[in-house]
């Protein structure tokens, strides 16, 4: 299940890359370009549909990866997925009225990220007897 969780995160990254190659912002409800050429670009209905599908698949895979991280009690997977979500939705969160602008399908991923991280802290035992890594091996 750990590998499945990681696969969901890889798939979510693929959709981000596809959108970035097309210079499309991922987290916005509307079709927003990364550059300021919004008015100059023509999008067909097929393009709009394709980009929307990619935008929807990103939070879907984030949610699935976080849930599998929780089932396997791998907090690092929960946090990695949450951080990935946050980083990709940051342009939306920087807006004061982000709740009006955010892709509707992104809201469950936001909630799953928050609740997943919160549950990791609720169930955590912070003491010197329970160390979940060996610092020597990390460096």
pLDDT along the chain (139 residues), means of 10: 92 96 94 78 92 97 96 92 96 92 95 92 65 54
Q: Of the candidates 50, 26, 33, 22, which has an alpha carbon nearest to the alpha carbon of residue 103?
A: 26
State the total domains in the chain.
1
φ/ψ (deg, to 5) at 131: -110, 125
Domain assignment of residue 82, given as a range: 2-138
In three-state secondary structure terms, 50 is helix
Count of H helices and E strands in the chain? 6, 0
Residue 62 neighbours by CB under 8 Å, 6+ apart: 8, 9, 12, 81, 84, 85, 109, 112, 113
């Amino acid at each position: 299940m750990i590998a499945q969780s990681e696969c969901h995160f890889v798939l979510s990254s693929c959709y981000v890359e596809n959108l970035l190659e097309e210079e499309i912002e991922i987290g916005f409800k509307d079709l927003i370009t990364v550059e300021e050429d919004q008015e100059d670009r023509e999008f067909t209905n097929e393009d709009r549909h394709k980009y929307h599908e990619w935008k929807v698949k990103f939070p879907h895979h984030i949610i699935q990866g976080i849930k599998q991280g929780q089932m396997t009690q791998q907090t690092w997977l929960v946090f990695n997925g949450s951080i990935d979500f946050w980083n990709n939705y940051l342009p939306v969160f920087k807006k004061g009225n982000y709740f009006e602008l955010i892709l509707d399908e992104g809201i469950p991923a936001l909630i799953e990220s928050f609740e997943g991280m919160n549950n990791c802290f609720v169930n955590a035992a912070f003491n010197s007897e329970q160390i979940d890594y060996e610092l020597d091996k990390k460096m």
